[in-house]
Amino acid sequence: MKIIVIGAGAAGTSAALETRKVNRDVDVTVINTEGFPEYSRCGLPYAVSGHIPKFENLVLHDEGWYDKFGKVRLMLKTEVTEIVPDNNVLKVKQEGGATRELQYDSLIIATGSKPSTPPIQGLEKKGIFNLRTIGDGKNIMNAGSHGKRAVVVGAGVIGLELAEALHAKGAKVTVIEFLPNVLLAMVDEDIAEVVKNKIEESGVRLLLNTKVDEAIGKEKVEGVIATNRATNERITVDTDILVLAAGIKPDTTLAEKAGIALGPAKAIKVDEHMRTNIENIYAAGECTEFPDFVTGASVRVGLGTTAVRQGKVAGTNAAGGNATMEHLLNTRVTKLFGLEITGVGPCSEAATKAGMKLIIGKVRGSTLPEYMPGGKEIIVKVLANEEGRLVGAQIVGEEQVAQRINVFAAAILKGMNVGEFSMLETCYAPPIAPTWDTITIAAEAAMKKLRRK
């Protein structure tokens, strides 16, 4: 049985390795356009900053490991030019221009995503970058050294992580964001405000609710012209480098040409088995969309954790097994300028758009009892529906945030209500945790509002 995987990212590699756990006799090939096997794209900003010493440290296994231990064939620097489902054939072009056809019994598409380019004039100039690959990261690191000026377009997770990296290298950084605040795809406006204040205190300039119109300069970028969307004020920001981090979009070109259906989010539509609309073709990772557990809306997959889960399901089923992915909660976290920011479930806007009438509990607390020195402030926001069932949560603080959001993820998955959650038995010891954890106090605050209603 021949299985081919297009893409060697988290989803593709997980799928390939999983096939052999199901059936050791399968012949597995992974095709990748880059010259590297799987590496952590999420780690790129930390290699730019130097916190990770070398970009090569992001590569999880060398090429030889895949053949020797994974029993997987790697075809690097190879482009799939066409999928021909009627004949179960892929057309590929290898480095140097040689073309060939490959036969498959099962195909897994894990083409990931590609940068979304905003409509800015002058992007043909030198000194303008995206951050998607190891090559991109090296170019940005070399260009954004100490004393340089840098403009980052986009205040999402990648844009802000990169802004922090360049700031750590000694660059003078300005972040320009089209939306009214930072991280609005991840958290609500009030939580975003806390993050915004911390970023500005750290010395990074933020221009929010602002559209970049043009990159100016002769052959090389020397600045950008932007417009404040509220006042129509025109702003010029001088810069030595310009980094576009205005989001990503699913890479579905091959799939669409092959007749594979997209969903409402314009990504490959898959079922719980990771099947597409074409027999024996599966898909996983950032090129796909999947129903949100809370709202039921079909949303783009954008997290590495979800990509791995999908990849394992796709690999199992492509090899003749039977696996499903039952839920997508989008449990998310990042750390910026000393703050950990987390969320699970939809933000308030998405929940309201789905028809929910929200009950919200929000409290400020500490990671330690009030009498214990060393405690760090933590803000917890709980979202519940009008029946009191937990549907989302967001937390921000300097430490001990990630595992708290994981507790909410488990509770949402099991359908807990705020009353049940407020009585959760959490651990306590003065140097480690308070008697009543802030997560339960936030749930209690929501429960009180629910009772008043």
Instruction: Provide the 3-class DSSP secondary structure of residue 42.
Output: helix
CA-nearest of 195, 127, 130, 141 to 170 is 141
Q: What is the dihedral of CA 48, 50, 55, 59, to 10 degrees?
A: -110
Amino acid code (one letter) for 162: L
* Cα dist from 403 to 186, 206, 400, 406, whole Å: 17, 30, 7, 5
Structure tokens at 289: 């969309």
Which helix H or strand E contains 383, and what residues bound it?
Answer: strand 377-384
Which helix H or strand E contains 128, and what residues bound it?
Answer: strand 128-130
| Phi-psi label, residue 347: left if phi above 0, alpha if psi -120 to 50, beta otherwise | beta
Q: What angle do CA 428, 434, 437 make, to 5 degrees?
A: 95
Q: How far apart are CA 221 and CA 231, in angstroms?
A: 26
42 is known as an active-site residue: yes
Q: Give 278-322 as a 3 state SS string.
A: CCCEEECCCCEEEECCCCCCEEECCCHHHHHHHHHHHHHHHCCCC
Q: How far apart are CA 418 and CA 391, in angstroms?
A: 10
Q: In what order do the strands lie in the sheet with 99-103?
A: 78-84, 89-94, 99-103
Instruction: Provide the 3-class DSSP secondary structure of residue 235.
Output: strand
Q: How far apart are CA 113 and CA 11, in angstroms?
A: 12
Q: What is the widest separation between alpha-carbon atoms in the chain?
A: 71
Q: Which of 42, 287, 347, 427 is catalytic?
A: 42
The answer to whether the CB of 265 falls within 8 A of the CB of 289 is yes
Instruction: Provide the 3-class DSSP secondary structure of residue 252.
Output: coil
CA atoms within 13 A on the CB side of 20: 17
The answer to whether the CB of 328 falls within 8 A of the CB of 411 is no
The answer to whether the CB of 417 falls within 8 A of the CB of 429 is no
Q: How far apart are CA 319 and CA 124, in angstroms?
A: 45
Strands 332-336 and 339-344: antiparallel
* Cα dist from 434 to 41, 364, 369, 425, 439, whole Å: 36, 13, 5, 12, 11
Active site amino acids: 42
